[in-house]
Structure 1
Amino acid sequence: MKKFKVRLTIIFIVLIGLSMTISGLYMAQMFQKTHITALEENMTREINIINDTLSWDQVGTREEDEMQFLSNEASLLSKSSGARVTFIRQDGKVLGDSDHTPNTMDNHLNRLEIVKAKEKGLGSEIRYSNTLHENMLYVAVPISNTPHFEGYIRLAMSISKVEHSIRSLWFVLTMGLLVLFVIAGIISYRIAHNLTRPLEKITRVANQISHMNYRSRVDIKNKDEIGQLGIAINTMADSLQVQMNQIHENENRLKNVLEHMINGIIMVDPSGRIVLVNKMAENILGIETKHLLSRQFSDVKQQYEMIKLIKEGLDKKELLRDEVTIYFPEERLLEVNVVPMFWEEEEEDFGGILVLMQDLSAIRRLERMRSEFVANVSHELKTPIAAVKGFAETLLSGAVSDPNTANSFLQIIYDESERLNRLIGDILELSKIESKRVPLQFSPVELHSFVGSTVDVLRTEAGKKQIDLQVSVPEQLYAEADEDRLRQIILNLVSNGINYTPDGGLVKVILEPMDMTDDGDYEKIRLIISDTGIGIPKADLPRIFERFYRVDKARSRSSGGTGLGLSIVKHLVDSHEGTIRVESEIGVGTRFIIEIPVVHEQ
């Protein structure tokens, strides 16, 4: 600690000396510059006064007369101003000077103060005078008094007083610096002595903190800089503790992100050991995380193709992609991406691989449904077209001559063309609904009269089968809906009920409010359409909203159905942000329950 005291004392003295020296230089320069600037301003002011007060009209026309007059004036002005006065013609010829005879003086055109005055309108220069053996300040201003005088008036003044003041300033600064050196030495030694005692405590606590003992604190009660340093060490320990807590929080966030990702993630280190598994990977593979972590990937009982892909990724250290089918815990089609990891993007520092697994089973199922839809559309279109073509060929081959046969065949052709038209219309309608090309136009609907008028359209059809069509809707019941789409939902479901209900049956339409509040308002409405028809088998209930799905294909074709009605209803209910479900019992009947909100966000 003694060496530290000496070094600290020397550092303080050197710093103080440097600061004082730099400050002295700056002050001297500023002092000199300020005085010189003040002199320049005063001399310029005096030149302007000379120009304004001098009787220029008394200047003779001859050069001798000019020199005589201006030399006399220069001598008089020099006595009153205390400066050397010089009159210089525009070509540099000296016409008058207070200290010298003009004829003995050189041409002054190239003097720096004259050059500057010519360029800027004011010229000043400091030069050493060989005659006076001291520095002089020269200030020149261009003068124009046509036709009497065209040239420059120059004043010269000694700056010895300024230089004397600067020397006095340096003397004061030097003496003050010596005194400060002595005081700084005493104070520095005292400060160094006070620093060494608490520094040992601070060093000991800092070492403990570096070993992650964040509870260690500096016990210093001083309020000086060392005390502040001790407080800073304690604050640092608190901050490190907070940062460690934040690190743990970030780790928990990352863990939650990994656990809630929809893709499975497995991290394998360069040695082939599994170091990270998220929840989705555990679900996909059907193996708990505790049975995967810290194990070699080759020891995990999985599909050979996946293990081979992981091994290839570790060997080649490049991005790989493949589709793998696994059969445990259930059959799944996975898209597996093997991504190599390099720390700091250096290929030499290989950090292992990430195995990303995406379940493509649902996507492939949708693709299969799309293919089935195309096949069903082709089949449904082919059947009426084949019938129309066949009966038309029969008529063309001679059956048209038989009126009864011709009428029968033409009726069949007409029926099949109507069925084809309905099928194409339903396909186009479903396509528009699914693509949302026709946005819903929501408006308040008074449901009592609306449902009544909608159901009345089908009463004639129900009357042909002697089916009782009942409607129960409270009055003054309102909801926001697209009238055309809501009417389409009711017509499709009621029409289905009529088609699949035997003669003499019953079809009911009930509409009621839901989720009543204390103020008597309601948030939803429930629409129930029930019939006493043949019913739907329980195994078919999950698929009845699929396109072209028919429970009884023969019955559906005879009734003229296209197989798209319920699919259209499902999409329209979804567009109203509602839900639809079905309850059915063979031989008893079917109930469709629809719930939609009363108010929709535009």
Structure 2
Amino acid sequence: MIWQIFPAFLLMILLSLGAAGIYFSQVLQKFYLQETVGNLSARSILLEDAIEPLLVREDFAAIQNLVNRLGRETETRITVVDTEGRVLGDSDEDPRRMDNHSSRPEIRTALDGGVGNAVRYSHTLNRNMVYVAVPIRHDGVLVGSVRTSYSARSIEETLAGVRSRLIFGGLGVAVLAGLISLSISRRISRPLVRMKEGAERFAQGELDRRLPVVGTEEIAGLAEALNQMAAQLDERIQTVLRQRNEQEAVLRSMVEGVLAVDADERILRINSAAGELLGVDPRAAEGRMIHEVARKADLQRFVARALAGNRPVEGDVILRGEKGELYLQAHGSRLLDSQGESIGALVVLNDVTRLRRLENVRRDFVANVSHELKTPITAIRGFVETLLDGALDSKEDARRFLEIIIRQSERLQSIIEDLLSLSRIEQESEKGGIELQEGPVRAVLLSAIQACEPTAQQKSVELQLVCDEALRSRLNAPLLEQAVVNLIDNAVKYSPENSVVLVQAMSRGDQVVIEVRDQGRGIAREHLPRVFERFYRVDKARSRKQGGTGLGLAIVKHIAQAHGGRVTVESEPGTGSTFRLHLPQKK
């Protein structure tokens, strides 16, 4: 910055000195000329009295002698002319060889009765001369003119010396003034440079640093103003950052998807929940068109509705992807700027897939339980009506019908007991009423195998147990035994005769895994995600024929969840199935 101030100062000084030098040189030149002309005029007037009588007597020789003597003594050229301009005497040249001087401006002025002066080049002496001519009168009558002249070279040499002194003095003054201006420039530019550096730091975000308030009143005031500006900017930026962080935290913590678009359907903001729902990267999605990011026709139509409407809109959006259908409940409203003009739309997406699935499960459960209860009730009623219609008269038919009624009653009782058991497990689990105590796992598995042994023997199915005596876990022994009994009972039912059902338990990391593996027909892949649903049957006819209620695996799942664990299944058609209970080993 100093090289922007100092050259201007230096140029101003040089121009000022140059103008002053030229002015004073001209003034001095004019002064010297005026002094020379005045001096020559005085000499001419003094010569007038001496030459006038000689000129009247026409004593030209005396005039020549006089001007020669006075010219040498005064170092002045003296010329005498008559009224016709003829040279009568000259101190430097022979008058007879000199031209008529009536055309000389100073002579012409003198012959007209005035005092003439001129500065011109003398062809006789070959140099510039200063001429002054005065008239010579006798009794008031003009009889001639006397002219004195002085070489201008002396004046020029004097002026040249003065000019050289002026130049050297001016250079000295210029150097001194340049140093002073350099010092002043540094004094001015140093705080300006500091303020420039400070402003650059402010622009880079270093708003906590302050500028020193030094220098002149104006510069100190500017520094103070910049410091106040930085403080206000820092406060405002911190406020904006705090608000942005709060908004980001809110958006990140929201389970609802938030999507903001402008009037051209270009994404302005999208939170992580919306990115997860739409399967996109939020950072990569911002600034792109909605149809480029999410090729979902339902979503695009809803966004268009939100942009076109003047009121909030609601609707359902179904997204279809690799993981199946995703049901979203969408709420849309316009985005307004500070002037109340619409600049886009805000869409909030709620994932209601689980609710829809629960609704479907509830409907399926109601339908299934109604169907399961209807079947034995219908059978009991039908056979009772048959008996009342006369079948009691046949002892053999009556006995057979009563046996059927008993079996259907037992089936109805099993369904109700399983439903009550499932309900009880859910309620106790939600209330935290299921007490878990650390105990041996082998004893529970052995009790479950003993309970299922009679059924296994009827089908010639061997039950094998593999479990370390030292294996322990936090468990509720009656509930865990019920879950294992359900798994073993299913394995026995769906295993061929003379096969093996393996029950084993092992420790895997921080879990205890209980496996029940059979050699039955297996389960197709499409049925595996739903086998733990209530009343879900892979083969409905076969399941009912074998006496299942359709609630056994659902009970197993809820018992595992009550223990803080889970249940999984692996199976392929023709290779059997493996059900696993994953229980936490420690609290």
Query: TM-score range with shorter-chain normalisation?
Result: 0.5 to 0.7
2:580 counterpart letter in structure 1: I
1:337 equivalent to 2:331? Answer yes
Tell me the residue number matched to 2:473. 479
**Residues 284/460 of structure 1: CA separation in 2 closer, same or farther (3 Å cut):** closer
Residue 473 of structure 1: CA displacement?
A: 2.2
**In 1, Cα distance between equivalents of 2:467 and 2:294:** 62
**In 2, Cα distance between equivalents of 1:297 and 1:454:** 58
Tell me the residue number matched to 2:530. 543
TM-score scaled by length of structure 2: 0.57
Pick from 238, 252, 256 the counterpart of residue 263 of structure 1: 256
Tell me the residue number matched to 2:442. 448
Tell me the residue number matched to 2:382. 390
Pick from 574, 581, 584 the counterpart of residue 594 of structure 1: 581
**In 2, Cα distance between equivalents of 1:297 and 1:597:** 45
Residue 359 of structure 1: CA displacement?
A: 3.5
Sequence identity percentage: 33
1:377 counterpart letter in structure 2: V
1:422 equivalent to 2:433? Answer no
Q: Deviations over 1:292-327 (max 9, x none)?
A: 756787999977776665555445543222224466
Tell me the residue number matched to 2:404. 412
Q: Deviations over 1:58-81 (max 9, x none)?
A: xxxxxxxxxxxxxxxxxxxxxxxx
1:357 equivalent to 2:349? Answer yes
Residue 504 of structure 1: CA displacement?
A: 2.0
**In 1, Cα distance between equivalents of 2:304 and 2:519:** 63
Pick from 545, 554, 561 the counterpart of residue 541 of structure 2: 554
**Residues 233/584 of structure 1: CA separation in 2 closer, same or farther (3 Å cut):** same
**In 2, Cα distance between equivalents of 1:387 and 1:313:** 57
Describe the SS at the equivalent of 2:558: helix
Tell me the residue number matched to 2:79. none
1:401 equivalent to 2:393? Answer yes
Residue 535 of structure 1: CA displacement?
A: 2.2
Tell me the residue number matched to 2:514. 527
Tell me the residue number matched to 1:159. none
Pick from 261, 268, 272 the counterpart of residue 275 of structure 1: 268
Residue 371 of structure 1: CA displacement?
A: 0.7
**Residues 201/337 of structure 1: CA separation in 2 closer, same or farther (3 Å cut):** same
**Residues 512/209 of structure 1: CA separation in 2 closer, same or farther (3 Å cut):** closer
Alpha carbons 1:581, 1:592 under 8 Å: kept: yes
**In 2, Cα distance between equivalents of 1:328 and 1:534:** 32
1:584 equivalent to 2:571? Answer yes
* Corresponding pairs, count: 393
Describe the SS at the equivalent of 1:458: helix
**Residues 396/456 of structure 1: CA separation in 2 closer, same or farther (3 Å cut):** same
Tell me the residue number matched to 1:496. 490
1:544 counterpart letter in structure 2: V
Residue 268 of structure 1: CA displacement?
A: 3.4
**In 2, Cα distance between equivalents of 1:453 and 1:207:** 82
**In 2, Cα distance between equivalents of 1:270 and 1:392:** 72
Residue 256 of structure 1: CA displacement?
A: 7.0
Gaps of 5+ in 2: 1-186
Describe the SS at the equivalent of 2:511: strand
1:372 counterpart letter in structure 2: D
1:218 equivalent to 2:211? Answer yes
Alpha carbons 1:205, 1:218 under 8 Å: kept: no
Residue 199 of structure 1: CA displacement?
A: 13
Q: Deviations over 1:226-285 (max 9, x none)?
A: 999979976985996698588568747745764675433332346766433345545656
TM-score scaled by length of structure 1: 0.55
Pick from 503, 514, 529 the counterpart of residue 508 of structure 2: 514
Tell me the residue number matched to 1:466. 460
Larger radius of gyration: 2
Residue 354 of structure 1: CA displacement?
A: 1.0
**Residues 303/230 of structure 1: CA separation in 2 closer, same or farther (3 Å cut):** closer
Q: Deviations over 1:487-510 (max 9, x none)?
A: 111111111112112222222221
**In 2, Cα distance between equivalents of 1:437 and 1:306:** 37
Residue 202 of structure 1: CA displacement?
A: 11
**Residues 573/282 of structure 1: CA separation in 2 closer, same or farther (3 Å cut):** closer
Q: Deviations over 1:95-135 (max 9, x none)?
A: xxxxxxxxxxxxxxxxxxxxxxxxxxxxxxxxxxxxxxxxx
Tell me the residue number matched to 2:372. 380
Q: Deviations over 1:195-225 (max 9, x none)?
A: x999986996699479846669635689xxx
**In 2, Cα distance between equivalents of 1:531 and 1:273:** 57
Q: Deviations over 1:510-552 (max 9, x none)?
A: 122232xxxxxxx322211112223222332222111111122
**In 1, Cα distance between equivalents of 2:289 and 2:580:** 54
Alpha carbons 2:447, 2:481 under 8 Å: kept: no
Q: Deviations over 1:155-174 (max 9, x none)?
A: xxxxxxxxxxxxxxxxxxxx
Alpha carbons 1:444, 1:479 under 8 Å: kept: yes
Describe the SS at the equivalent of 2:532: coil
**In 2, Cα distance between equivalents of 1:285 and 1:437:** 33
Alpha carbons 1:582, 1:591 under 8 Å: kept: yes
Alpha carbons 1:319, 1:340 under 8 Å: kept: yes
**Residues 353/572 of structure 1: CA separation in 2 closer, same or farther (3 Å cut):** same
**Residues 260/399 of structure 1: CA separation in 2 closer, same or farther (3 Å cut):** same
Q: Deviations over 1:11-36 (max 9, x none)?
A: xxxxxxxxxxxxxxxxxxxxxxxxxx
**In 1, Cα distance between equivalents of 2:334 and 2:552:** 51
Residue 387 of structure 1: CA displacement?
A: 0.7
Alpha carbons 1:334, 1:361 under 8 Å: kept: yes
Residue 596 of structure 1: CA displacement?
A: 0.7
**Residues 231/475 of structure 1: CA separation in 2 closer, same or farther (3 Å cut):** farther
1:483 counterpart letter in structure 2: A
**In 2, Cα distance between equivalents of 1:411 and 1:220:** 108
Describe the SS at the equivalent of 1:457: helix
Q: Deviations over 1:346-389 (max 9, x none)?
A: 8x465543122234333222211211111111111111111111
2:458 counterpart letter in structure 1: K
**In 1, Cα distance between equivalents of 2:304 and 2:444:** 67
**In 2, Cα distance between equivalents of 1:534 and 1:213:** 72
**In 1, Cα distance between equivalents of 2:400 and 2:220:** 112
Residue 560 of structure 1: CA displacement?
A: 0.6
**Residues 469/296 of structure 1: CA separation in 2 closer, same or farther (3 Å cut):** closer
Alpha carbons 1:214, 1:238 under 8 Å: kept: no
